[in-house]
Amino acid sequence: MELADFAARFVEERERLEYSQVAYARSIGISTEALRKIEIGKSLCKADTLARAASIGADIQYILTGVRSTNIDAVSRIVGYEGGIKIDNVVGIGYINSNSGQIQISPRNITKAITRPGDEHITVEQRAILKDLVDKIVETEATLKKAPKSHRAVWASLNAHCRVNTYTLIAATDFEKARKFLHQWLGRLNSSASAPVKDGDNWRKRHYAYIKINTKDPVDAEAVATYMARKFKAESLTDLSNDELDAVYKYVAGRRNKRR
């Protein structure tokens, strides 16, 4: 296998999945610079990096051989979110042999892969909150994007952001970090130019819900009411156009982020 061909197909799969270099590097657990070197054929790719790429839908068979796989989804389900290659209940870390194209596992790097959530990790209730946000992101992606991210891709990105193998192992102290990451993702989707057109009433309902949830405090409610009256001469959210509603949404989000 020519390393240059491997690098070109690696890039092709990232672009097929519609990831930027920054987002893809984060999703597969490496730095942007490490990804850049892989994509220009200056660096070999570790087996655990390929496994994480497979977990978010990359066709690893194609990257290695140039022949498309017919079971990408099955492979991503088997690899899961754990980011390692499973061999008889262990995880091995290896590399691509540039001559044979084989994924080689080093025995000295094989370790047991058994980690269970404990008191130091997020609670069941917090997991439910994150799961609900992931579901909303996937639903919105499906509505707005030509190539929407799957549940697997969103979970993989969250896990990489929090530097864990599975979301149940997110540290309790990182819960707000995880929730903020998902809120920002959802916010970017809802603020996209195509959102009001493609999602119609649901887009407005999500904006209404977000604004109301984050203005329960009388001080926040008064601030938003003053903002709407001054900027748009409106007393109710339902009186606003899509652009005006989006402006109020961003105003509320800005106030919320300043408090954190």
Q: Which of 29-33, 188-192, 240-244 shows the lowest per-residue confidence on average (mean pLDDT)?
A: 188-192
pLDDT tens digits along 204-231: 888 888 898 889 889 999 999 999 999 9
Nearest residue to 158 via CA among 37, 33, 51, 55: 55
Contact of 82 with 165, CB cutoff 8 Å: yes
pTM: 0.43
pLDDT tens digits along 21-32: 888 888 888 998
pLDDT tens digits along 85-137: 333 333 333 444 444 444 444 443 333 334 567 788 999 899 889 988 888 89
Alpha-carbon gap, residue 192 to 199, rounded angstroms: 11
Q: Could you write out the three-class secondary structure of 169-211?
A: HCEHHHHHHHHHHHHHHHHHHHCCCCHHHHHHHHHHHHHHHHH
Domain ranges for the chain, please list them.
Answer: 3-112, 124-259
Structural class in CATH, domain 3-112: mainly alpha
Q: What's the rounded mean pLDDT across residues 163-177?
A: 88
Place of tokens 């917090």: 126
